[in-house]
Amino acid sequence: MTDDTRIASRAHHGPASAAAPAAPAAVHRRGRRRGLLVIAGLLLAALAAFVWSLSAGALPVSAADLLAALGGAGGSMETDIVRSLRLPRAVAAFACGGLLALAGALMQVLLRNPLADPYVLGISGGAAVGALAAIVTGATSGWIDAGAFAGALGATLLVFGLARGDGSWTQTRLLLTGVIVAAGCGAAVALMLSLAPEGRVKGMLFWLMGDASSVSQPWPALLLLAAGLVAALPFARELNLLARGEITARALGVRVGRLRGLVYGLGALLTAVAVTTVGSVGFVGLIVPHLVRLAIGNDQRLLLPAAALAGGVLLTAADTAARTVVAPIQLPVGVLTALIGVPVFLFLLARHPR
Amino acid sequence: MKMDARPPLLAAERLAVEIGHRQVCRQLDFTLQAGDTLVILGRNGAGKSTLLHTLAGLRDATGGDVLLAGQPYASWPRGHEACLRGLLAQSQPDFFSATVLETALVGRHPYLGRWDWEGPEDEAIALAALDAMGLAGFAGRQVPTLSGGERQRLAIAALLVQQPRLYLLDEPLAHLDLHHQVAVLDHFQALAAAGAGVTMVLHDINLAARYASHVLLLDGEGGHVSGPARQVLTVPRLSAAFGHPLRAVADGDATLFVPA
């Protein structure tokens, strides 16, 4: 047993202990600075996405006119188009992209599963059933929103109630219940699509793919995005612990039950509002948290705000592209998020062989 | 049992623990003073981890009390208990990537306010713990690139970063090679000598005999034997508890237990 104490002795007077500590700590702090830089860059990108979204279209608006139009010196056609058509749409796309990405990041931690997204617990399925039922019966857009929100809420409560039937809900049980409820909703959606009158099927399909063109009230979604971030950030370090496992988190003093309830409720609310506003836009909630994670790591204190910003930027840009690339035809934005998101994600994944 | 002005670090009083309808222990009484090392032994499924989680305050007992420094867990302000006792849980899979240093810094959580970030002092503590576990050059590595044994030492380093007074270790030697098994146990022996309390679940009877001051032997049916290591570690008791005949081999002053 000659070198029993090699490890212990190295801690006290080994050559490594003097030199090593400074460098990795600097690396660690550089990682944090990098995260803050990425967030600052995303803020600039958000500004650029807004400028593009407000100026691009059948009637191009120059940057100077844009300022005048937003400043309220109203009357002209540019002002009308920017303020009553493009601004609500850009705000809705940004807010909902942010909501979905934030909800996706939260769900991935809650379920400790990188494949989780905001829809995995059946929320979008429930919303789709509610919204499509409203469309089939010929309801107005206000009732479609109400139906979507009620459906999302119903699915959330159903999954939560079923999953914790015996009081001890595990991630696997929650996930499986969510997947099954989502499958049931999918069947109901397919049934309604096949029974719906011809004239209403296109509206239903657009709703299902996600569409920001008919948003009347974008501001509640934006307010909720800000409120959701403010609610989640104080718990970000506890979420880091939860991502490493329940026992570890509890042993370090985290109230896991309360934290899970908060994350589940918040994730469900963010998703329900996003889906109610723009329909079930895919891929943003799954891919954006991963993109951000590849760029800045998995510290939720940086990841959550960065994901919210990146999701907003992606959906604003995608929605602008959706209404301009093949104008005058408008594409459903959900198709573009998938077309952009999938190759970008595969590219980044291939570059980071971890 | 020494009389001490300070309450024992950990005490169980008439403790009863069950999993489902299976009894892990009943009427369990012991005290763990600063400087003591208690090793829990028992066959697979005897409920050693469950008992350890109960002693860590993460699971309610069926009956009796667990006292951390004289107080039940419920009466500790939330989060304060994490500055006093730390738990090394059995390893769980990682689903998200993180660096070794980030992972070790997790142990600083109980000391940081809600809005605090880890500072240079926290980093120094984490680097010292990594160094103590032979992971000095690993700070910037991604955890998924580590071997099983390296991950286990990282988990122990994260526990050291927590700097508790009471260490509860669930199979701390899992995945470790012989050299690191002894080095880890030496490290905790030194911590105990410096005033910490250590409770650990082990499978190696001979390492238990070498490092334990006290032993708790679970028979898997709710019964137990506990006391100073020399009194508990006897051939008839160990044979009965593990359901396999053992014999003792004298090795100088020490006794080695080998399967018969």
Statement: residue A3 has pLDDT above 60: no
What pLDDT score does A349 carry?
Answer: 73
What is the C-alpha separation between B98 and A240, in angstroms, rounded?
A: 10
Res. A1 pLDDT band, cuts 50 70 90: very low
H or E stretch covering A311: helix A300-324
Type of residue numbered A103: A
Interface contact A8-B186, CB threshold 8 A: yes
CA distance A171 to B8: 37
B72-B78-B81-B86 Cα dihedral, nearest 10 degrees: 120
Yes or no: say if A95 and A312 are a contact pair by the CB < 8 Å rule.
Answer: yes
Superfamily name and number for A106-351: ABC transporter involved in vitamin B12 uptake, BtuC (1.10.3470.10)
Query: How far is Cα of residue A37 from the mean position of the Cα atoms in its chain?
Result: 21
State whether B183 and A8 contact (CB < 8 Å): yes
Tens digit of pLDDT for each residue in A169-209? Answer: 677 888 888 889 999 999 999 999 999 888 888 888 888 88
Query: What percentage of chain A's residues is helix, strand, coil (to nearest 5)?
Result: 80, 0, 20
- A4 and B179 within 8 Å at the Cβ level: the answer is yes
Where b means 16+ CB within 10 Å and e means fewer, B185-216 reads bebbbebbeeebbbbbbbeebbbbbebbbbbb
* pTM of the complete model: 0.89
**CATH label, B1-84+164-233, candidates 3.40.50.300, 3.40.50.1000, 3.40.50.410, 1.10.8.590:** 3.40.50.300
Best residue of A168, A248, A258, A349 to probe chain B, by most B CBs closer than 10 Å: A248
Cβ-contact A34, A299 below 8 angstroms? no
SS3 content of chain B, % helix, strand, coil (to 5): 35, 30, 35
Q: Smallest Cβ distance to A11: which of B115, B132, B179?
A: B132
Distance CA B233, CA A291 (A): 55
pLDDT of residue A78: 79
Q: Of A175, A239, A244, A246, which to mutate for an interface test with B (greatest number of B Cβ within 10 Å)?
A: A244
Q: Tokens in use for A293?
A: 């994670």
Beta-bridged to residue B65, according to DSSP, are B13
Chain A hits for B137, CB-CB cut-off 8 Å, are 16, 20
Residues of B in contact with A112 (CB under 8 A): 95
By DSSP bridging, strand B85-88 and strand B37-41 are unpaired
- The answer to whether residue A15 scores a pLDDT higher than 80 is no
- Per-residue pLDDT tens digits for A273-314: 999 898 888 889 999 999 899 889 899 999 999 999 999 999
**Torsion, CA A12, CA A16, CA A18, CA A21, rounded to 10:** -110
Residues B236, B230 contacting (CB under 8 angstroms): no
For residue B118, the chain A residues in CB contact (below 8 A) are: 28
How far apart CA B192 and CA B218 sit, in angstroms, is 23
User: What is the ipTM score, two decimals?
Assistant: 0.92
Task: Enumerate the CATH 3.40.50.300 domain ranges in chain B, comma separated.
Answer: 1-84+164-233
Q: What is the mean pLDDT of residues B96-113?
A: 93
pLDDT classification of B2: cutoffs 50, 70, 90: very low
Contact residues, chain A, for B179 at CB < 8 Å: 3-4, 6
